[in-house]
Structure 1
């Protein structure tokens, strides 16, 4: 019986295991040092905030694995020997494989800051990080103030978590505006305002210089490049993540920032594959980034590699980019590509509308000559993935998208509050005469 070994029990590795089992009777072994059972990483914050218990974020009951003949091994893989097709686990035991899937995910970035390894300094990625947070910041009596370093999605999640327990938070962001490497200026500015309204001390264009220890080796303060010293009991390092591949450096497997793979998720070594956050595409897939640390791409890669391993060699095709997140209580969605002022091409133009009172806005990117729709960002308005995916595939114009924007809205009745203003501004900016129309989104599918 062929032995399939998967390193990592996140969404990528578990998706691969589930689909291999659906397609075959191969022996499947998942090795992970993080937890006994798979859990939803994106829901960790809700455990800390008291909305859920940890067992609630485990999608499968504990009996699921034995019933589906998926063997679970708890431990660290410290060496991959591809010539003998063996793994060394915890430097003490070996596991043989016929085919190997590397799905080891990411780790929080560290940039050599003095004091970055002190007690009270941590990231927010793993179950162990969640457990540490309960030690370092169980309440505002133990944690008088926290400092978060890095202005991305993990940073805003950690800030929300700590504020849910009334812990004061200072947020150090090196950029001129929050997440302005991803968001256009108007959207980034709106999130700046929203962060401040939630009583988070946002310090833009500010870098961490040093984390200072007390007499017991715990973090007691940070210093910044503005000459400020901020007393704190917790330092959250959330300046992005990078592929978790250190254990592969002497393996012979080709590495870049991640494990280099082709369009079939194959590495340079026969019978070894890489998927999820740790995989780096070295063959461009349109405008997709070589490494995409996103939940749904990990799932898609797992499903794809399962087909290949079970005899149906399948190319990884992620389709049009999309993502969603929350900035405190503002929902964010993006479909296609909406580049920032720094990164957008000369041919790309933006239409931007923002509600004058509410934290609601829309940005639509389009080609300034052909008027082809390129992408959309929405804040506070929920949209339908399937419709935007179709419009991107059909290369629809920005005028078509605006005319039928209500059909793509997930809450069409609620959207009516904004539709007139959005269309009015679009007409004013573009010199068009689109009218507000009362259409049902179901028409899109009747004409498909």
Structure 2
């Protein structure tokens, strides 16, 4: 109704999250591409899926979310094709040789990949019952549903309008303070000391620290080494990414059901790791203890 109101505050926390990135794709079917970033999105996706006569789903994005969705839909016997411009899945998280093994495991489970290419057009066919997906490499796929999972964009528009400093996310210091007094940021929107980590464990660390600060006990956020478990049972995977500004060499150990790769810096310190398969996964806790904190605890 156009009516605005003001809400006084003593402390303000921006927990505005992130939105799925949407590609500009041609074709009369592009508006029907699903994104999932909430229970409402997910319900709409599943309801639409249930109405389709066939079980062909095309997923845009071979990152963490795209691969997890692909594995999940396999259990319901869907025909899944994952498309990505990168030459391998999880290209930002995994070294090449592990990415190849991960891809092979998912392919053996039934997932198909179209890599090194992008979607140019999504068109309605068969009276709107199906979609033709035209790829940049000249290939055309037919699907009942298209799901986009190409990543998240932190919501920074509100912060910008309030003259709060932003980069990829809303910039905060170790206390989760923005450059504006008494305004904090937390969650997928927060870029803490230059680091943006849209995962569960970092958000829990932020919440614990900020709760103490707001209760009168000023507490800086502490980021211990926090491995990410990728929910792909067809290829069990745990990743602790090495810091992007650290040069590392990979040392790999192979097992019958997977492999373990350690990211070692120039001083011989373990800075990250990748565990593929159940055997390697058993070393998660042992290895995590050897990796230095991303943001050390404050004394």
Q: TM-score range by the shorter chain?
A: 0.7 to 0.9
Q: Please list every run of 5 or more consecutive structure 2 residues that lacks an aligned counterpart in the other structure.
A: 294-299
Check whether the contact 2:63–2:91 (CA below 8 A) recurs between aligned residues.
no
Q: Which ranges in structure 1 are unaligned for 5 or more consecutive residues?
A: 1-88, 285-289, 395-448
The CA distance in 2 between the partners of 1:116 and 1:303, in whole Å, is: 47
The structure in which a higher percent of residues are helix is 1
Q: 2:62·2:90 contact (CA, 8 Å) conserved in 1?
A: yes
Partner secondary structure for residue 260 of structure 1: strand
Residue 198 of structure 1: aligned partner: 109
Secondary structure of 1:353's partner?
strand
Report the counterpart of residue 176 of structure 1 in structure 2: 87
Secondary structure at 1:227 match in 2: coil
Deviations 1:28-68 (A, max 9, x none): xxxxxxxxxxxxxxxxxxxxxxxxxxxxxxxxxxxxxxxxx
Deviations 1:126-183 (A, max 9, x none): 10121111222126x4354211111111101211232222221111021111112220
Map of 2:147 onto structure 1: 236
Q: Deviations over 1:99-144 (max 9, x none)?
A: 11111222111132225984531112210121111222126x4354
CA distance in 2, matches of 1:116, 1:316: 47
C-alpha deviations, 1:343-386, integer Å up to 9, x for none?
872xx32221223x53x111112245x43333322112334665
Go from structure 1 to structure 2 and tell me whether the alpha carbon gap of 1:92 and 1:213 turns closer, same or farther (over 3 Å shift).
farther
Change (3 A) 1:169 1:315: same
1:61-210 equivalent positions in 2, closer than 5 A: 94-115=6-27, 118=30, 120-138=32-50, 141-210=52-121
**Equivalent residue of 1:169, what SS?**
strand
Q: CA RMSD in A?
A: 2.9
Partner SS state of residue 305, structure 1: helix
1:312: how far off? 1.2
Aligned to 2:249: 349
Instruction: Name the structure, 1 or 2, with higher relative contact order (CA <8 Å, separation 6+).
Output: 2
Which piece of structure 1 moves more, 295-304 or 325-334? 325-334
How many angstroms apart in 2 are the aligned matches of 1:186 and 1:302?
36
Question: Partners in 1 of 2:249 and 2:141 — Cα distance?
Answer: 41
Q: Distance in 2 between matches of 1:323 and 1:115?
A: 36
User: C-alpha separation between the residues in 2 aligned to 1:326 and 1:212?
Assistant: 31
Compute the displacement of 1:92 (Å). 5.4
Deviation at 1:257, TM superposition (A): 1.9
Task: Summarize the Cα distance change of 1:226–1:393 in structure 2 as closer, same or farther, 3 Å threshold.
Answer: closer
State the number of aligned residues. Answer: 291
C-alpha distance after superposition, 1:168-224 (max 9, x if no partner): 111102111111222012210111111211222211112111222359878722111
Query: SS at 1:252's partner residue?
Result: coil
The equivalent of 1:377 in structure 2 is 274
Secondary structure class of the residue paired with 1:363:
strand
